[in-house]
Structure 1
Amino acid sequence: MNGDRPRIVIVGLGPGGEQHVTTETLTAIERADHRFLRTAVHPSAHLVPDPITFDDVYESADAFDDVYHEIARRLIAAADVDGEILYAVPGSPLVLERTVRYLRDQHEVAIEILPAVSFLDVAWARLGIDPVETGVTLIDGHEFATAAADANGAVLVAHAHANWVLSEIKLSVDDPSGALDDMPAVLLQSLGTPDERIVATTWSEIDRTVEADHLTSLYLPEFRAGPGAGYVRFHQLARTLREQCPWDIEQTHQTLVPFLIEESYEVVDAIQALDPDDPTTDEELIEELGDLLYQIEFHATIAEQEGRFTIDDVTTGIHDKLVRRHPHVFATTEVEDSEDVAANWEAIKRAEKGRTSVFDGVPSSLPSLSYAHQVQRKAAKVGFDWPDVHGAVPKIAEETDEVMAAHADDDADATADEIGDLLFAVVNVARHLGVEPEAALRAASNKFRHRFEQVESLAREREIDLRDAGLDTLDALWDEIKQR
């Protein structure tokens, strides 16, 4: 049937009691000359006479995945020597059996899997549910943090074999408010054996209700994943890409700077494109915020690999800083309005940073308009400012005259210097009027671009070559578009 290839026959010993082991499995066990058991710690393990077990691997390996890989490796080696072996596992070979998954992925030996009763069949009977109609999601307890990220509704968690596993399951869900504490939960133990127990409890008590063992499962009929579960899955993805994608592996903090800036601007574009009457415009912002968040995760993953810091340091740092700088929320400080909040923020920040200049903390890598705006704003906080916009506006005319004077003198350096002063004066006017200059100039540039694209379209309709049209023709087209 399989030529001369070595073969492994895999059978399942059911969820617990002998009554759940099939006749086909018993026949295969009796016929086999070389028998292997994943673990002898199972109520029906005695049905496999004279087996070689792998319980020693559990004791020596550092992680469960190492256990399963080592068992698969030993089985392949044994089949290569003996020609055909039998491998017996608890439950069904096709339900959450990672060793079987690894054996099926290889091509060195042939695999034959006999059907078996799993703990699931008994679980559905005891819970009184149809798993298809109920839409149950089956999750391995060791992978709960990532696998449950998108789970909503009924969840059955297998391999909840110890109370520390149940504790980690509970802690993996971000629920600081305790909203999930009373969520119903059911612990299922030793299904299909005389010691069977079905215990109703709550989410907050899942790790304190029973002494969990290798035959323990957890059923959550109304599970709702918190935001932390989704982020854990995203965090693991960032690590995987950094470890396995050639492009991601090559990146450094420095090489990622252009992408960080680009993604930040794309977030701004998505915000400006939001339409309160059109919920579909949220989709672009969701995507761009995700791209920006990935940049943050990317930098944290690089730092983690270098042994410098982790994303936990980042999130803990911002959490604690926000608590410190909001004493009106988390302490006894009283404020009248948002101006008091901003003043407290600056005072707390100065005390934290030990800053001596009002300009400390202004990033020099900001876009120039934003940099000018921030520098002016900092100086204004200590009183170095015009009383209102009427003092700032005349500076535009003054700086314009100085630009033209420098130009008349044919002094390129002075002209560039005066142009800078003129732009600085315009930023000052914008600040006094409550206009963010970077956003205002971007909007004006977009408006110009949009109108000129319409000029181009109109010129194509009239078969006008813009490069040869001349300024008068371009102005006429521009005015026509503007009037529209």
Structure 2
Amino acid sequence: MARVIVAGLGPAGSDLMTGAVRDAIEQTSRRFIRTRRHPAAVAVEPAESFDDLYDQASSFEEVYRAIVDRLVAEARAGIGDVLYAVPGSPLVAERTVELLRAVPGLDLEVLVGLSFADLAWDRVGVDPLAAGVRLVDGRSFAVDAAGERGPLLVAQCDSAHVLSDIKLAALDAPDRSVAGRADEKVIVLQRLGLLDERVFEVVWAELDHAVVPDHLTSLYIAEMGAPIAREVARFADLAGELRRRCPWDQEQTHQSLRGHLLEETYEVLEALDAVDPDSLSGYEELEEELGDLLYQIVFHSVLAAEAGQFTLADVARGIHDKLKSRHPHVFGSSDSDHAAPDDASQVLVNWEAIKREQKGRASVMDGIPPGLPALLFADKVIHKARSVGVVPDVDTATVAGRLYDAVRDAQAAGLDAESELRAFANTIGDRIRACEISSL
């Protein structure tokens, strides 16, 4: 297998490229460049770019994996060294390099280049080590900046919707007024090292209106008014403190909390029934009940952490990764064997198939809790039957058959049989109470 040489083109024009990168370009004839949308791209020509992949792929991750597959295939052809040029430094925000490092047996050489961050430190006048600056990705700002107070250098702010998402996340400051936060300023850095370089301040409220972003736009945030996801972190800390200091919390186990978990779940269901999207009523009670249910989840995570098994972060990471793996049609998984869904029913079919593969289950029926209420159990069974193309032969002459058929009719109408029966029973209950009052 031939060698793949990754060369960093620096943050601006070819004048900021290193001598080692220049030499590698001159000495290598098989050249590739991630994108020609870079001021120093001309120095690599003639080269093949991967710009067309950005238009064809459904996600950046799909683009990066396709690039790596092509580079590895070229290297395995054994014709000669392969040069792969990337903007900035290969060691800063370059996902393709991460993927290349993970390829077994690949002979990889990385030639570092000047990063946009090196110029940014000079323009904002800070020592990143002394100031404790953290570099985050603008495309995933709400996650990457969670819990951070700053300073932050935000890279890849390359579109208006990215700036808008950053602004909305930053203005979500529960312990400060939104108005006060909106009037504070953030530093915008554009095209550093080029003749049309711009470094200026803009108030948060105008970030996605006053800035025309491009692929060489970044932000410097000296201080966040409140850390993103701060309330969740405070809540988790409180649950841990209660476990350490409250006699009742100290006595609890996973088993002793079962009844509380069930009770809080039913109270959430009751609150959901009271929500009216048209009048916007019921949401206050739903918010409270969801908080009570969340406490049960956090409490079980605290107990598991004590046992050395998992933490709340592991729970969040696990459900994140599971949902992502079960939605290949959304996240562009190139190795998925499942057909792209045309509608919601096909999504469910794929979901069940992927779930069986991941869980190693022999049947889609495996994993349905046998203790579910009968109507809910029937609802699950009907969904499972539909996912594998089974059409049950239902004898509606029996009570059980009529109940099963009623659940199926409710599904067809987009209704939940359990909730419908409960609501109907509550209506009868109201009539009983009215009759009782009238008889007094």
TM-score normalised per structure 2: 0.55
Counterpart position of 2:60: 64
Q: 1:265/1:88 Cα in 2 relative to 1: closer, same or farther (>3 Å)?
A: same
Counterpart position of 1:53: 49
Counterpart position of 2:199: 198
Per-residue deviation, residues 71-109 of structure 1 (Å, max 9, x unmatched): 111111111113410111000000000011111111141
Shift of 1:187: 0.8
Contact kept? 2:36, 2:49, Cα under 8 Å: yes
> Among residues 17, 40, 45, which one is paired with 1:44 in the alignment?
40
Counterpart position of 2:99: 102
Counterpart position of 1:281: none
Counterpart position of 1:138: 135
Q: Could you list the runs of 5+ residues in structure 1 that have no partner in the other structure?
A: 235-255, 267-285, 309-350, 361-377, 383-484
Secondary structure at the counterpart of residue 180 of structure 1: helix
Query: Higher relative contact order by CA 8 Å / sep ≥ 6: 1 or 2?
Result: 2
Contact kept? 1:29, 1:86, Cα under 8 Å: yes
Shift of 1:175: 4.3
- How many residues of Structure 1 are paired with residues of Structure 2 in the alignment? 279
Question: Residue type of the partner of 1:357?
Answer: G
Counterpart position of 2:306: none
CA distance in 2, matches of 1:303, 1:16: 39
> Among residues 126, 140, 151, which one is paired with 2:123 in the alignment?
126
Q: 1:25/1:227 Cα in 2 relative to 1: closer, same or farther (>3 Å)?
A: closer
Contact kept? 1:141, 1:159, Cα under 8 Å: yes
Q: 1:155/1:230 Cα in 2 relative to 1: closer, same or farther (>3 Å)?
A: farther
Counterpart position of 1:282: none
Secondary structure at the counterpart of residue 151 of structure 2: strand
Counterpart position of 2:212: 211
Task: State yes or no: 1:74 paired with 2:70.
Answer: yes
Per-residue deviation, residues 217-269 of structure 1 (Å, max 9, x unmatched): 0111102455557769x9xxxxxxxxxxxxxxxxxxxxx99975465799xxx
CA distance in 2, matches of 1:98, 1:51: 20
* Larger-gyration structure (1/2): 1
Per-residue deviation, residues 160-209 of structure 1 (Å, max 9, x unmatched): 01111111222335347515212320110000110100010122221112
CA distance in 1, matches of 2:187, 2:217: 10
CA distance in 1, matches of 2:67, 2:212: 27
Q: Which has the higher helix share?
A: 1
Counterpart position of 1:182: 183
Q: 1:39/1:303 Cα in 2 relative to 1: closer, same or farther (>3 Å)?
A: closer
Q: 1:172/1:264 Cα in 2 relative to 1: closer, same or farther (>3 Å)?
A: farther
Counterpart position of 1:151: 148
CA distance in 2, matches of 1:113, 1:199: 34
Question: Residue type of the partner of 1:32?
Answer: T
Contact kept? 1:163, 1:212, Cα under 8 Å: yes
CA distance in 1, matches of 2:258, 2:56: 44
Contact kept? 2:148, 2:227, Cα under 8 Å: no
> Among residues 34, 54, 58, which one is paired with 2:30 in the alignment?
34
> Among residues 166, 169, 174, which one is paired with 1:172 in the alignment?
169
CA-based RMSD of the aligned residues comes to 4.3
State the identity as a percent: 39
Counterpart position of 1:357: 429
Contact kept? 1:186, 1:220, Cα under 8 Å: yes
CA distance in 1, matches of 2:260, 2:426: 32
Q: Which residues in structure 2 correspond to 1:15-30 (within 5 Å)? A: 15-30=11-26
Q: Could you list the runs of 5+ residues in structure 2 that have no partner in the other structure?
A: 236-253, 265-293, 302-311, 328-343, 346-422
